[in-house]
Chains A and B, each alone.
Chain A
Amino acid sequence: MTEINWTELVVLTVLFVIVAGLGFVAANWRRPTTMQHLDEWGLGGRSFGGWVTWFLIGGDLYTAYTFVAVPALLFAVGGYGFFAMPYTVITYPIVFLALIRLWSVSHRHGFVTPADFVRARFGSPTLALVVAITGILATMPYIALQLIGIESVLKVIGLTGDSFVAKHLPLIVAFGILAAYTYQSGLRAPALIAFVKDTLIYVVILVAVLYIPHELGGWGAVFDAADHKFTAAKRGSLLIAPGSELQYVTLALGSALALFLYPHSITGVLASKNRDIIKRNMAALPAYSVLLGLIALLGYMAIAAADRGVAPLVTDGKADPNTIVPMLFHRLFPSWFAGIAFAAIGIGALVPAAIMSIAAANLFTRNIFVEFIARDANHAVQARVSKIVSLLVKFGALLVILLIDPQFSIDLQLIGGVMILQTLPAVALGLFTRWFHRVGLIAGWCAGMVAGLWMLYTIPNPATNHLHFGGSAFKLATLGLSTQLSIYVGFLALAVNLIVGIAGTLIARAVDSPEGVDATKRADYFADEGDPKVQ
């Protein structure tokens, strides 16, 4: 496909320009008295109401990459990919009580990052550093993946040149503009853009799930086509493949536990105005899960539309499964509407990429720069450092995508999910109990990381010719257990983490290792809007 589809390109470009304009204007939205403060640049003034929070967190968690990768997974292996459903249903009731405590204690103490909380709770800059570095490492590849989302769209439109520059220029320009308005407007930019992004996504998906199955002979025909393909190919299944049930459940549970440990999720939560807004959003955010479930099924529609020329795009002799959703839109929608759909995916990448870079920058500023480099940095300096680091983070993600095989980012993101889960004892359990000793928590983190990385290392993936880091399903037989079952690596690594954490705490207490001061009080965990802040 060397022909450029100009209608699609023009619609996409126009919408992108509108959104970029919004991003720059956002600096004046709910105009702050000063932008030279992390509370303003990095948390939008900690003042977002119910609707803004809903759009912001929704736009943050349900990313463009999710929208292309989940259907791609269903397209390839079937029902297993639908774990995204239980995952995004159970996560909200799981974090409901934890997030309001985190919001309260952060509100009272002015915490900007999860590592800020850990530092105050356990009196340990080292533990905070560990949490911060884990957060940054887990977020970086996630940003890179958003670029894959944009690239899949550009490829289908036909924007692929032969030279390096021609091939990547549109992506570089798009990301350059994103970096510029995030630098200027901070969290206000993605918050404002999220309105446009999510409206576009909702419209596109509603049209898609009504129109496309109708074109293909109904939902029944869509599922039958998928069933037939999996049976014929002897790969994949409409349901969960036998032996994968435990993996399905632990992957959903592990991912649900990990979701709100990601720094960018916490950024969205801390930017809201009060506790009730968070609670209300825990009930309202699953609306996006319905959307995700329907988007997932686009993968089956792509199977059913195979006779209409829907297939993964092949570039340089390699089929790119992530192009399956853009291809479906490209073949079945009129060009102008396909352009809108592509804009929804493209803009859908910009919102999370902006929030993730802000979250990573805040972690660096608060828990590395201020903690270890410039103790007396005032608010203006902190805001400036964060702004510059947000640029570096995005630039780094761009380089990773341009210079290294994108598969590398996908592998890294897999590892990132397992890594971020290892901060659960300090960040999440720390909200409820101060029982753990800081030494035990650090030991547990180390053990969980080593166990997780080792397990991931042992997992091959024949489909991508990988000997290592080929997936997150760890065969229990590797440990000598006589079973066909596999389990999510992150889940097992977290278990190791907790066991070592408990043992480490008991040992540290036994040898009278210093406890570290808890700067928080019980009442801090219930503070709400209007309650005084600790200065």
Chain B
Amino acid sequence: MANDPAPPPAERTDSSPWNWLLLVPIVIPLLTFLFDEREPRLAGFPRFYWLQLAYVALGVVCTAIVYRMTRRRR
């Protein structure tokens, strides 16, 4: 590590209030009482299955929002 060029500006940071949104798709899919049931069924799928599949959309939406709000300005 002999040659150490100027590091990136020190004031850069990843912190943003939007990051808290990431907690939503981490916590909700782990709450078994929300989905560990048969009824109501949706298109033949018991709740256990359709709701856990729907959590993918929750994850995508929350993560995409955080990405859009925190990406590098061009």
Contact = CB atoms under 8 A, between A and B. Distances in A.
A binds B: yes
A100 B46 contact: no
Majority-rule SS of A interface residues: helix
27 contacts: A82-B49, A85-B53, A85-B56, A89-B25, A89-B29, A89-B52, A89-B55, A93-B23, A93-B26, A96-B66, A100-B14, A221-B44, A222-B44, A223-B44, A238-B46, A238-B48, A249-B30, A280-B67, A289-B56, A289-B59, A290-B53, A519-B1, A521-B7, A525-B14, A526-B14, A528-B8, A534-B4
A253 B56 contact: no
B71 A276 contact: yes
B20 to A, nearest CB: 11
Contacts of B30: 86, 90, 249, 252-253
A269 to B, nearest CB: 15
A245 B60 contact: no
B67 A93 contact: no
A136 B12 CA distance: 35
Contact of A220 (B3, B12, B41): B41
Given A223-B49, A279-B70, 4 more contacts: A93-B23, A218-B44, A276-B67, A293-B49
Nearest to A292: B56
Given A218-B44, A527-B8, A90 B29 contact: yes
Contact of A522 (B3, B10, B26, B48): B10
A297 interface: yes
Given A89-B55, A89-B56, A519-B1, A82 B26 contact: no
Contact of B43 (A101, A219, A279, A293): A219
B62 A93 contact: yes
Given A219-B44, A220-B44, A282 B63 contact: yes
B11 to A, nearest CB: 9
B6 to A, nearest CB: 7
Contacts of A282: 63, 67
Interface in A268-314: 275-276, 279-280, 282-284, 286-287, 289-290, 293, 297
A85 B52 contact: yes
A515 interface: no
A297 B48 CA distance: 12
A524 B25 contact: no
A473 to B, nearest CB: 15
Interface of A: 79, 82, 85-86, 89-90, 92-94, 96-97, 100-101, 108, 213, 218-223, 238-240, 245, 248-249, 252-253, 275-276, 279-280, 282-284, 286-287, 289-290, 293, 297, 519, 521-528, 531-535
A293 B54 CA distance: 10
B59 A90 contact: yes
Contacts of B49: 82, 223, 293, 297
Contact of A293 (B7, B56, B58): B56
Contacts of A253: 30
A79 B59 CA distance: 21
A239 B37 contact: yes
B7 A86 contact: no
Contacts of A284: 60
A96 B3 contact: no
Contacts of B1: 519, 534-535
A213 B45 CA distance: 12
A239 B48 CA distance: 7
A347 B53 CA distance: 26
A253 B53 CA distance: 17
A320 to B, nearest CB: 26
A240 B52 CA distance: 13
A413 B23 CA distance: 29
Contact of B45 (A92, A223, A526): A223
A331 to B, nearest CB: 22
Contacts of A221: 44
A86 B52 CA distance: 7
Contact of A535 (B2, B6, B12, B26): B2
